[in-house]
Structure 1
Amino acid sequence: MRINGIYFLVFILLIAFGCKSKSQPVSTTETAHGHPHYSTIGNISDYKLIFPSKVPDRIIVNLTEDPVHSFAVNWRTDQETTKGYVEIAKETHGPDFLVEGHIRRIVANSQILEKGDTNAKEPLVNAAFHSAVVDSLEPGTIYVYRVGDGSVEDSFWSEWFQIETPSADENDPFSFIYFGDAQNNVKSMWSRVIRKSYKMMPEVDFMLHAGDLINHSEANLEWGEWFHAGGYIHATVPSIMTPGNHEYDKTTLSTLWRPQFNLPRNGPIEAVMETCYALDYQNMKLISIDAISFERDSISKQAQVKWVDSVLASNTKKWTALTMHYPIYSTAEGRDNIVLREALKPLIDKYKVDLVLQGHDHTYARGYDQNKGQGLTVVEDAGTIYAVSVSGPKMYTSQDQDWMIKRGEYTQLFQIITVTKDTLKYGSYTPLGGLYDAFDLIKDKNGKKKLINRDADIPLRLKKDFNKQ
């Protein structure tokens, strides 16, 4: 009985000590095991999306200037993990890629970033951001890779991800998915859009985001939601992205843009590195224009116009696509981007750009400037096709205009685009998988293009028909 009494006394003391410990506030300057702790952590929803650990998170693959032979990968850890590594090997039918000598290790570039968003009342977060370019790859080959701290234990490494390099034959078909603004309610309502797109096209080669990935440029929680929504898709399907106005705080790009992404650095000036860039994918030239910097900074505008002209003048690829956040043709009054259009439209026409992929207007529209409201099924000598789309739940209204072949409101969409030697196929889909808009663009050896507008499953959707408030 005496022994049981001692156990009981110890039990009571442990409870009392635990309660006392929990009642003490934790200072924002206190550390335990090298991690900063914050008194506000209990008040932060989804704090796991904000705070890093030793285990890599926010893993994402980006396209490089040479996707056939390389890819870029970024990830995040806690600030104690000051070094990062990528391990890569050719995929095998079993675990035999782990045999000694098969795995190549690459040292990442690492930086510590201290980040807090006073506007969103988020706590200060110290994190290490790691980036690497994995090069010397073989075309048309499936690889496995993982990222981590270099330790022997698997605990602080990511899982092994599969990734496939493009074919060496530039005329082989490829597909990519284009998203307009995700921006709001990203975890709860955009997640199903990116996941449905991947389910419909699991062999997709890359994804393209036309700006406004999140709503507040410095909000760590929103960035955490964006990475959470895509999950392992971000780590297995390469992405490219162009910034939107919500990735900017007035004239300043989000401090998390470059640490989180690893995009080509071949733009015209340092101010738009990794926001304005060009790359080749198979037989397509892809160009990202930083539309926000373009409109808010005259030096950036002049540099980007001159640079785009030079890139298009030297382009040898059969297909050309531009992406930018602000549309050349907006979908509603009061959102007309005259400066952008007057500067870039002459170059688009001069070099016969095929496709311009945009966001910002939170509606859907697709067409070409010579449409004149005719709505023809077949256009024998088509010009540039312009698309404005939205993938998140924030919705605006639009106005019917002559350049539009199909428009829509109150509809979350993603676009699957497949490119072959002579044909570009475009389909715009809802989260239910319904086809909202579709066309084929056929280009002959002389560059003449025929547009064939395909029938869709879903008729015109307007916000007034669904929002009766």
Structure 2
Amino acid sequence: MQKRRAPSWCFLATAGLALAHYGVAASATPAPDTPVDLRGEAAPAAPGRPYAARNLPDRIILSPGGDPATEMGVSWRTDMAANETTAELAELVPAPNFGLRAAAVAGANVTAISENGEARYHKVRFTGLKPGTAYAYRVRGSAGFSEWHQFRTASATAAPFRFIYMGDTQNRILDIGSIGWRRALLQAGNPALMLHAGDLVASRDDLTHDDEWGEWTATGGWALATVPQVPAAGNHEYVDLINADGSETRRLGGHWPVMFNLPANGAAGAEKTSYFTDYQGVRFVVLDGTSALDLGTLQAQTAWLDARLGEAPGRWKIVLFHQPIFTCARPGDTPVLKAAWKPLFEKHKVDLVLQGHDHCYGRLTSEAGRAAGVEARAGGAMQGPVYMVSVAGAKMYGLNDRADTQPDRVAEDTSLFQVIDVAADRLALRAYLNTGVLYDGFDLVKSDTGNRLEELPDDLPTVRRCSGPAQLIDQPMPADRLGPDGLPCTAEVKD
């Protein structure tokens, strides 16, 4: 368990007021003459460059610290004229002049160049915060400050809370992905966290990379600055490279490290994309499947995962990453990750494994299959990790040939979001269609001997599947293949 830092206080005299100055942990900053290059392959940019940096801050994203009871991170973007990084922070009270008690907090920035021109990306870390306390903050651009945003630190001890889990948005982010995002925020009401299982964007040639991230932040809007974001990197957060010898490799896209101010407590070699945070009795562990599979960090991440799960201070353990252990679309599972990580999930009694990548919905409680899981639970067996795959955006894959027998519940050609409530002895997951209709769910009831899984009553919607002959990737969609809503099916079958 992380030790909490004592608050660091210094007092600044401004207009006769004593202002508390919160501690700052700034990241190393590249030299000003080495801007981060965010450009990708040539691609059409939106007319008029609506996603170019302006003189007021945008892309404001709040992230939890390793201990979000005492620490939060924030990042934002400005035009080049804002060469200093400054935020203001105050405890939020009902009086409208709460800002009189605000403290100035300094941070660090980097220059980045994209298809939309140069911009500065800023980061500030708020430390020494009070647990269970409401704060307001604002960040500076060249024309002044943003509006005030607010957050509440986690309690110092376990307490009930609610969070959102989203699958891939990736394509048509603002057009289609925003529907589920915004419905999730409405449905959840007051979520403490928002988790993303990777492929937030496509990082391919349908939009410039910067426009994609512009769509992603426009989709979340002010909620990104208010609800702490917990993202996992997917394969589409990486860009493909061709080495001099003709071989292929990948590197993390330039937007990820400048747009997110995540906890710096990850695995060696995957420091920017693996991390953990402890929130009110839950340890959330975020892994990077792409780096593990393609960039040689599997061993380091596996050892780090074992240690982080073994030391987890709370009753609940939730792991988030992109490539699923058990797939709902691809013909086979992800064998490398399955061999390395599944035994650790079982050893440390992980409760939920949240994933994306397959562009379908799948909930799996037993590798032996749905019927075997039901029989085992009826006989009194404790429930092991529950494996989830979900999708939030417009890109869809068809279900694989195991979907009828192995997972407990599936869907294809369907956008969803998940709302999870956590209490001392019960975790309740509800999966909703992007219309807000309940589609699936279960409760995990925890005791000293393990988890007992409780299914919902049998009054859920019919399983959502396409009908007619399957369509393989990059092949024409058969005219008589219809989706569950009577429209042409968009789910391509992976071969």
**2:193 is the counterpart of 1:206:** yes
TM-score, L = length of structure 2: 0.80
Alpha-carbon distance between aligned partners in 1 of 2:409 and 2:177, rounded to the nearest angstrom: 23
Alpha-carbon distance between aligned partners in 1 of 2:399 and 2:419, rounded to the nearest angstrom: 23
Q: Of the candidates 434, 438, 443, which is equivalent to residue 441 of structure 2?
A: 438
Instruction: Report the AA paired with residue 192 of structure 1.
Output: I
Q: CA deviation at 1:401?
A: 5.1
Q: CA deviation at 1:157?
A: 1.1
Q: CA deviation at 1:333?
A: 3.8
* Residue 292 of structure 1: aligned partner: 290
**2:394 is the counterpart of 1:404:** no
Alignment of structure 1 residues 91-102 onto 2, 5 Å: 91-99=92-100, 102=101
Alpha-carbon distance between aligned partners in 2 of 1:133 and 1:333, rounded to the nearest angstrom: 40
TM-score, L = length of structure 1: 0.84
Contact 2:111–2:118 (CA<8 Å) still a contact in 1? yes
Instruction: Report the AA paired with residue 408 of structure 1.
Output: A
Contact 2:360–2:396 (CA<8 Å) still a contact in 1? yes
Alpha-carbon distance between aligned partners in 2 of 1:345 and 1:46, rounded to the nearest angstrom: 47
Alpha-carbon distance between aligned partners in 2 of 1:448 and 1:212, rounded to the nearest angstrom: 33
Cα shift readout 1:257-299 (whole Å, capped 9, x = no counterpart):
0100011111121x3112111121111111111000000123x
**2:427 is the counterpart of 1:424:** yes
Alpha-carbon distance between aligned partners in 1 of 2:225 and 2:291, rounded to the nearest angstrom: 28
Distance 1:372 1:131, change over 3 A: same
Contact 1:190–1:391 (CA<8 Å) still a contact in 2? yes
* Residue 6 of structure 2: aligned partner: none
**2:217 is the counterpart of 1:227:** yes
Alpha-carbon distance between aligned partners in 2 of 1:90 and 1:229, rounded to the nearest angstrom: 28
* Residue 70 of structure 2: aligned partner: 69
Q: How many residues align?
A: 410
Q: CA deviation at 1:302?
A: 1.0
Alpha-carbon distance between aligned partners in 2 of 1:338 and 1:82, rounded to the nearest angstrom: 47
Alignment of structure 1 residues 53-452 onto 2, 5 Å: 53-99=54-100, 102-115=101-114, 123=115, 125-149=117-141, 155-170=143-158, 172-216=159-203, 219-250=209-240, 251-269=250-268, 271-298=269-296, 300-370=297-367, 372-374=369-371, 376=374, 380=380, 381-399=382-400, 400=403, 402-444=405-447, 446-452=448-454
Q: CA deviation at 1:315?
A: 2.1
Contact 2:329–2:359 (CA<8 Å) still a contact in 1? no
RMSD: 1.8
Q: CA deviation at 1:373?
A: 2.4
Distance 1:468 1:145, change over 3 A: closer
Q: Which has the larger radius of gyration?
A: 1
Alpha-carbon distance between aligned partners in 1 of 2:96 and 2:236, rounded to the nearest angstrom: 44
Cα shift readout 1:399-421 (whole Å, capped 9, x = no counterpart):
31543110001111010001000
Contact 1:268–1:304 (CA<8 Å) still a contact in 2? yes
Alpha-carbon distance between aligned partners in 2 of 1:58 and 1:356, rounded to the nearest angstrom: 29
- What is the DSSP-based 3-state SS (H/G/I as helix, E as strand, rest coil) of the residue aligned with 2:370? coil
Instruction: Report the AA paired with residue 197 of structure 2.
Output: A
- What is the DSSP-based 3-state SS (H/G/I as helix, E as strand, rest coil) of the residue aligned with 1:189? helix
- What is the DSSP-based 3-state SS (H/G/I as helix, E as strand, rest coil) of the residue aligned with 2:97? helix
Contact 1:262–1:274 (CA<8 Å) still a contact in 2? no
Alpha-carbon distance between aligned partners in 2 of 1:107 and 1:140, rounded to the nearest angstrom: 24
Q: CA deviation at 1:431?
A: 1.6
Alpha-carbon distance between aligned partners in 2 of 1:277 and 1:297, rounded to the nearest angstrom: 17
Distance 1:232 1:468, change over 3 A: closer
Q: CA deviation at 1:169?
A: 2.6
Contact 1:361–1:388 (CA<8 Å) still a contact in 2? yes
Contact 1:278–1:285 (CA<8 Å) still a contact in 2? yes
Alpha-carbon distance between aligned partners in 2 of 1:451 and 1:104, rounded to the nearest angstrom: 47
Instruction: Report the AA paired with residue 324 of structure 2.
Output: P
Instruction: Report the AA paired with residue 75 of structure 2.
Output: N
* Residue 120 of structure 1: aligned partner: none
Cα shift readout 1:419-459 (whole Å, capped 9, x = no counterpart):
00000000001121101100000011x14110001135322
The structure richer in helix per residue is: 1
Contact 1:370–1:383 (CA<8 Å) still a contact in 2? no
Task: Give identity over the alignment, percent.
Answer: 35
Could you list the runs of 5+ residues in structure 2 that have no partner in the other structure? 1-43, 241-249, 468-481, 490-495
- What is the DSSP-based 3-state SS (H/G/I as helix, E as strand, rest coil) of the residue aligned with 1:310? helix
Q: CA deviation at 1:385?
A: 0.2
Alpha-carbon distance between aligned partners in 2 of 1:303 and 1:61, rounded to the nearest angstrom: 28
Cα shift readout 1:315-371 (whole Å, capped 9, x = no counterpart):
232100111100000113445311111111111111111100000000000021255
- What is the DSSP-based 3-state SS (H/G/I as helix, E as strand, rest coil) of the residue aligned with 2:464? coil
Cα shift readout 1:134-190 (whole Å, capped 9, x = no counterpart):
1111111111110014x8xxx5211011211112231x1011100000000001111
- What is the DSSP-based 3-state SS (H/G/I as helix, E as strand, rest coil) of the residue aligned with 1:95? coil
- What is the DSSP-based 3-state SS (H/G/I as helix, E as strand, rest coil) of the residue aligned with 2:301? helix
- What is the DSSP-based 3-state SS (H/G/I as helix, E as strand, rest coil) of the residue aligned with 1:112? strand
Alpha-carbon distance between aligned partners in 2 of 1:77 and 1:317, rounded to the nearest angstrom: 39
Alpha-carbon distance between aligned partners in 2 of 1:179 and 1:48, rounded to the nearest angstrom: 28
Cα shift readout 1:184-204 (whole Å, capped 9, x = no counterpart):
000111111111111111210
Distance 1:125 1:426, change over 3 A: same
Alpha-carbon distance between aligned partners in 1 of 2:195 and 2:368, rounded to the nearest angstrom: 26
